[in-house]
A and B are shown apart, each in its own frame.
Chain A
Amino acid sequence: MQTLSGSADTDQTEIGRTFAGVGVSPGRIIGSILLMPKAVREPAVGERLAEGTSSEEASAALRNAAKAVQTNLTDRSVGASGAGRAVLEATALMANDPMLVKAAVKLITNGASAERAIWDAAASVAEMLHNLGGYMAERASDVLDVRGRIVAELRHVPAPGIPYSDTPFVLVGDDLAPADTATLDPSKVLALVTSGGGPQSHTAIIARALGLPAVVAAVGVDGLADGTRVFVDGAAGTVLVDPGANEFALAKAWETTTAALAVFDGTGRLKDGHPVPLLSNVGGAKDAVKAAAAGAQGVGLLRTEFCFLERDTEPSVAEQVEAYRGVFDAFPDKKVVVRTLDAGADKPLPFLTDASEPNPALGVRGYRTDFTSPGVLERQLAAIAQAADGTGAQVWVMAPMISTAEEAEHFAGLCRAAGLPTPGVMVEVPAAALTAASILEHVEFVSLGTNDLTQYAMAADRQLGPLAALNTPWQPAVLQLIRLTVAGSRDEGHDKPVGVCGEAAADPALAVVLVGLGISTLSMTARALSAVAAVLASVTLPEAQQLAALALTAHTAADARRLVREKLPILDQLGL
């Protein structure tokens, strides 16, 4: 790792300091940082009004703060659109809600400080909403978000969430939440750097989808001051304070590379011509049109949740047909793999999942919601079949979170009954990888979801920064599970396809290993297609197989990654 020595004429200790993290989205850029404000600290339990402050003054301050937060959120909603706008509008109303403010004022009258009063008043409201269950329970977190903003306003500190700036900046924080995507403006953010989070965290997924360079788990980086200039290398996973001429040259070279890499000719293949179809993961018709324009050879993962999220009730078959057809129409004559509803864990749906499960990642999620809410899956399959009818797309269907051959058999039966001839399942539970041969006796293909497969194989929550090192698909155990899945397909005897549709497919070095292991297709965010295609075109099939064998010999994830990257000089040339 290269670091510049600190300048002699300054005593700023951070100059030239390098923070090492995990690179999750390639790119080399230079920019000034803005810190994401930390979560609001809870006021001391039982905190009283400060000496010399009357309850009238504190109540007035609270009312003003609530009003200010409401105005701020309303202003921001004007700039947002769709679902994001509706959420901001409703949250704005909550901020200055008479019931909430009255409850807080009552506590102030009894002697509580304004901060503590709103803290407790909002907690009671949140608990009440939580107890109502379903949709209301989810709104509880909105009340707590509003509470944080009001307390920040009372303390005159920045509100939690993504900071706002007119000029583009490098966003530095602990980790991004799914909700932050709604407010992250990709034209204002140059790169994402977090002290927490792992390779599969929301930050990583957001960065790859937006094509922003990103480094996660860079411990200590949140101690830098706003405005600090840094060089971010999203491939190496490093952040350098006060970059010099060398880094400016690297950043300039990256600009040229991205321009060259922006083109994918629409045919994934190795140097020797061995075909590797490169497909795209999409979450709706808009994504699908973009992916088709980027050259995707089909859709390897259609996340049908897009049709269900933000809904309080199940969408009708007619609504679903229209939504799916929009995607099929973007890919006439091409393959579109539709994943049936994957609700639960980090994607709860009020009408399907139980928010009070103690272990949502191990709970009723994915295909398993068919156990508790039968009928939803059958109606979805009917809608997919109806949408597929009359389009040119080759529609394949797969179920998420399959653990056993019986589940695969049941799912295949439902698909065939609906008139869908190509059923498949996702392999994301280690049990499915280990029993791939018997699973493939019932279905026509499998697709590895490497994010969840990694989280379950390593027993490591993918959102947790301290577990980032465990949570990479380069882990020897994960590579073995992928190898065993391919071996299962060979054992079954009909050469049924094994694809990958997790984030692993978007890592160009790992893509080479996956092809070497026998994976037939790769599906990724459309942004990654050109980089993966460029690297695949630099190796022959025997070379890819050698690299896969090399990766399997490594005892650690870091070694596997390093050994493979050393043999792929093109990665360094392209800054990937």
Chain B
Amino acid sequence: MSERTAVIASRVGLHARPAGIFVAAVGELPLEVTIAMAGEPADDAMDASSILSIMSLGASNGDTVVLRAEGEGADEALDSLVKILETDLDAE
């Protein structure tokens, strides 16, 4: 199991357009990725490919989230996802 933390950079938090971009990126990976707020048990993690799950997570600007994935290429995949979360996608 690979694990990474990321600090949400988007001013509006992780919903609307930023959530859409993130979910689209997860959807292109051949892995199952989960997302949870930092400090929450791994069992409560949500499916990161679901825009509805991501939105209900309610992560705001500055919040820390934990991404988890298992399998070949998981480390590289999570690194690329962290990069997306740590960019202010709403500013583009």
Q: Please give the residue numbers on chain A whose beta carbons come within 8 Å of chain B beta carbons, in ascending order.
A: 86, 89-90, 93-94, 97-100, 125, 128-129, 132, 135-136, 139, 143, 312-313
Contact = CB atoms under 8 A, between A and B. Distances in A.
A93 B56 contact: no
Contact of B56 (A86, A94, A136, A313): A136
A187 B19 CA distance: 33
A277 to B, nearest CB: 41
B15 A135 contact: yes
A100 B17 contact: no
A97 B12 contact: no
A93 B20 CA distance: 7
A493 B12 CA distance: 50
Contacts of B49: 98
By DSSP majority rule, is chain B's interface helix, strand, loop, or mixed?
Answer: helix
Nearest to B23: A93
A118 to B, nearest CB: 13
A97 B24 CA distance: 11
A132 B54 CA distance: 13
Nearest to B56: A128
A115 to B, nearest CB: 20
A129 B11 contact: no
Contact of A93 (B12, B47, B51, B58): B51
A128 B55 CA distance: 10
A99 B53 contact: yes
Nearest to B51: A93
Nearest to A83: B17
Interface of B: 11-13, 15-17, 19-20, 23-24, 46-47, 49-53, 55-56, 58
8 contacts: A86-B16, A93-B51, A94-B51, A98-B50, A99-B46, A135-B15, A136-B55, A312-B12
B73 to A, nearest CB: 20
Given A90-B20, A90-B51, A135-B12, 15 more contacts: A93-B20, A93-B23, A94-B51, A98-B47, A99-B46, A99-B47, A129-B56, A132-B56, A135-B15, A136-B15, A139-B15, A139-B55, A143-B52, A313-B11, A313-B12
A93 B24 contact: yes
Given A98-B49, A99-B50, A312-B12, A129 B20 contact: no
A129 B15 CA distance: 12
A90 B19 contact: yes
A97 B50 contact: yes
Contacts of B19: 90
A540 to B, nearest CB: 55
A132 B58 contact: yes
B81 to A, nearest CB: 16
Nearest to B19: A90
Given A90-B20, A93-B24, A100 B12 contact: no
A100 B52 contact: yes
Contacts of A93: 20, 23-24, 51
Contact of B16 (A129, A132, A135): A135
Residue with the highest number of chain B CB atoms closer than 10 Å, among A97, A135, A312: A97
Nearest to A128: B56
A128 B50 CA distance: 15
A67 to B, nearest CB: 12
Given A132-B58, A312-B12, A313-B12, A97 B52 contact: yes
B61 to A, nearest CB: 9
Contacts of A136: 15, 55-56, 58
